[in-house]
Structure 1
């Protein structure tokens, strides 16, 4: 989470945009994203130039060569393009450089016309129309230290929290620490093909790329794996072009050159993906309801339903390769809902695939957006079954208060969850009264495929010893005698007065 100082600066920027006529929250986030993007680009280039200089190597970066199609005005602006120069310009000139040169330049940064970045930047517009407002925002953004990737991510999440809405189809902005936990549970490998079919700002894809940079640095030394990382590892779909633009910029700022980001309704007939990916990381829309006609027919074969949260699980099973894994956030209703569709989807995962774990999360995790109770479902597509014992974990704290303020606190189960899931062999002797435990698949069958942790968790009650009725009566009598004595003393004091 961001510090109070940074929070105050972002709030000030937000208020500045709002009071000067920019009242659409998503538009404001988009405009600030552009500025964060060009600031981040310059920081990346400066770092690469410094490294090349240290090694005595020549470096040809984004700003090494002026584009051949620049007009006279753009050629004049070229030396002022980089943030280090741009931020020092007078208001009028800053606005002119941004609108006529920088913004057209970043719109084509994806290189190929059909790249994810170029495709969704094509229709983008820069909408901070007052030079003085732009200068205020640039100056304030420049004062925020953002060298740390986590800080950038925290600022991004805080900006998204300004939406204060769950969206028409029940989308929720997934907290970054929950995303990071899920990625660390799944441990992406350099060979994985990773998809989020409801990607939003691409949080899961960014976290997976960061995990690989941290734990598999050697992949960048192997040409085939390096090419895979930049071109064929990351996939994301969404139906909001603004979020696609934000997601594409987010991925590029985190060093993924050409992510496969598509404008697509993942649940429709237009999505033909099948057995294509090895890892699904997702927080699909909750509480949405679609017409049967708008849903791909093969998704309805598993469970005939209009509920998006169930349809997405059917989709995950279809798009995963055999042996592919999924870690997805689902509303609690998916785990224990009693409708035929709810039971059918759970039965499909348990009987025909391998359900590995259910992590029950507290209801405050998604505040301030909503107080919905959710869980994380982890499974592997096998097509032949394989579920034997399912691991359950009762998360009680995620490091933040579970109210709307979400203040940082000491209580945090995340590290424990990661360690325990990584060492499941040591979990076999755990009792049902503990925070995590195994449940055999036969017992889950007996319970109608109910995956609610409360169905299997045992509560240990402490035996309390109560005094006998006679002792209680004696104690009450003593209290009454003391009251009478006190009243008599008070009465005598009043009469003496």
Structure 2
């Protein structure tokens, strides 16, 4: 997370663009992305050179004639000669980065549109000087810095697009636990936040040796997506490239249109598709209309995911609450399709402040598996009340920064302190409950409907030492709690309604009031006391 001095340094870079006459948010992010990208290329080249000295094979990024394009050399140059190298449209820095990537790769294709947009040498000089001061040696810090820059793009875009908060992306990735065998897609890729988070998860949970064995698959097949905005295509491609994916398959196409013909291709989808958008009816892929006959993008994207997933493939998707309870035929048909014909596993209700200050829309995360033959048994509902930040426009952090950043799957011991902070931060418990429900321990302690059983066994045999306190002893049948199970039959009987309010039981506390005569006597007593005080003041 970016705070304090580091945040201030980045904001100063931002202000340098503004005072230099560059005020368009996307332009600033794109130009900074190019500069960070060039800096990263030089750092990669330096590491490869050191490895080459130890006997590793090395294909140089920069030729002998291109040494001036290396960051370490660029920052040493005088202001005007440096700017000339950047602005040279024939054999300068930008023609060089446009030539990177394998021939005819999508990365190379999108980078062909990369252009230099800083017209004043002094502005470039100040930006490079300030970038050089940022502590970007650590990959996590570099990622945080880049995420903060991308956060400047937050806000309402066209067709209801909102950038997903990083901790929500991380939550979804932790829930899905991507593997080295997964083929991952985000059909509304944007800046590739979900794909980058999946790559970071995989890097964290596998050794370098394992990653090296799968390097070709990681570089060419694992990460996929669709995006039709040219700037976002470049930013997404560079974002993934900076995180070690050399040839990401981010396709330039309107995801739900006839032009997108991908089907049965992916094993995992992570997405936050646009809300409240519409598409021309004639442009919609016919197969999607067969599932849900609508022009609403939030429904069409769900149909698209079902088409694009392989059988057995999983999806974690953010949807507006209207998808869960909408009474229209199209809303009901997509819910019935997912619940009856595939396997819906999870509905996580999120507080409406998650997307503030840019939108107050209420949303949920749904997790389902494509089966084509049903399989929904019990659906787990979780009522996320607090995500660790204030739910107003300020979105201030409410819990310890380390806890907020580090929550993850594990044996529960690392997050034990989270139990104390649960009222302000539900994500550790949410993950722990999901992990428990998916574990073999659940059936030892609970009936299928979630009711807690009386079991006599050793604590370690029941998993009590593997999860957070109260996770194993929680009654998942209790509809008054944040975490409970609902059977398929009940959902079907409610016309496929998936809103948590349909199933959660609200407990009302009885409030007793004094009898009217007691209240009246109390008022009379106050009046007498007031009269006495007034008389004493007059005297």
Instruction: Normalising by structure 1, report the TM-score.
Output: 0.92
Name the Cα RMSD after superposition: 1.9
Partner of 1:38: 38
Q: Distance in 1 between matches of 2:212 and 2:48?
A: 20
CA offset digits 1:328-374 (Å, max 9, x no partner): 11111111111110011001100000000011111111122211111
Change (3 A) 1:166 1:314: same
Out of 172, 191, 194, the residue aligned to residue 181 of structure 2 is 191
1:126-275 to 2 correspondence within 5 Å? 126-163=116-153, 165-217=155-207, 220=210, 223=213, 225-275=214-264
C-alpha contact 1:45 1:61 (8 A) present in aligned 2: no
Give the equivalent residue in structure 2 for 1:288: 277
- Cα drift, residue 45 of structure 1: 3.4
- Equivalent pair of 1:219/1:226 in contact (CA under 8 Å): no
Distance 1:469 1:153, change over 3 A: same
More moved, 121-130 vs 8-17 = 8-17
- Residue 444 of structure 1 is aligned with which of 491, 500, 516? 491
Equivalent residue, structure 1, for 2:71: 83
Match of 2:538 in 1: 491
* Partners of 2:225 and 2:243 in 1: CA distance: 15
Query: How far apart are 1:107 and its partner, in Å?
Result: 1.5
| Separation in structure 2 between the aligned mates of residue 193 and residue 286 of structure 1, nearest angstrom | 25
SS in structure 1 at match of 2:534: helix
CA distance in 2, matches of 1:200, 1:52: 36
Secondary structure of 1:267 counterpart: coil
Q: Which of 80, 103, 106 pairs up with 2:94? A: 103
Structure 1 position 171, deviation (Å): 1.1
Contact persistence 2:225–2:250 (CA under 8 A):
yes
Alpha-carbon distance in structure 1 between the residues aligned to 2:393 and 2:39: 31
Select which of 431, 434, 444 maps to 1:418. Answer: 431
Alignment of 1:50-69 (within 5 A): 50=50, 56-58=54-56, 60-63=58-61, 65-66=63-64
SS in 1 for 2:335: helix
Runs of at least 5 residues in structure 2 that lack an aligned partner in the other structure: 400-423, 451-474
CA contact (8 A) 1:287 1:309 kept: yes
SS of alignment partner, residue 158 of structure 2: coil
How far 1:6 sits from its partner (Å)? 2.5
What residue is the counterpart of 2:12 in the other structure?
12
Indicate yes or no: 2:81 matched with 1:93.
yes
Aligned pairs for 1:108-119 (under 5 A) are 108-110=99-101, 112-119=102-109
Bigger shift: residues 402-411 or 328-337: 402-411
- For the 8 Å contact 2:154–2:163, the answer to whether it is kept is no
Counterpart secondary structure, 1:370: coil
Does residue 317 of structure 2 align to residue 304 of structure 1? no
Deviation at 1:58, TM superposition (A): 4.0
After TM superposition, list the pairs within 5 Å mapping 1:368-379 onto structure 2: 368-379=357-368
Preserved contact between residue 323 and residue 331 of structure 2 (Cα < 8 Å): yes
Displacement of 1:159: 2.5
Deviation at 1:113, TM superposition (A): 2.3
| CA–CA distance in structure 1, aligned partners of residues 144 and 208 of structure 2 | 27
CA distance 1:488–1:271, change in 2 (3 Å): same
Q: Alignment partner of 1:204: what SS?
A: helix
Q: Is the 8 A contact 1:361 1:373 kept in 2?
A: yes
Structure 1: runs of 5 or more not aligned:
67-74, 493-497
450-459 or 245-254: which moved more?
450-459
Counterpart CA distance in 2 for 1:488 and 1:412 is 55
Alpha carbons 1:107, 1:117 under 8 Å: kept: no
Partners of 1:333 and 1:211 in 2: how far apart? 31
CA deviation profile, 1:79-106 (whole Å, cap 9, x unmatched):
3322222222211122123334322222
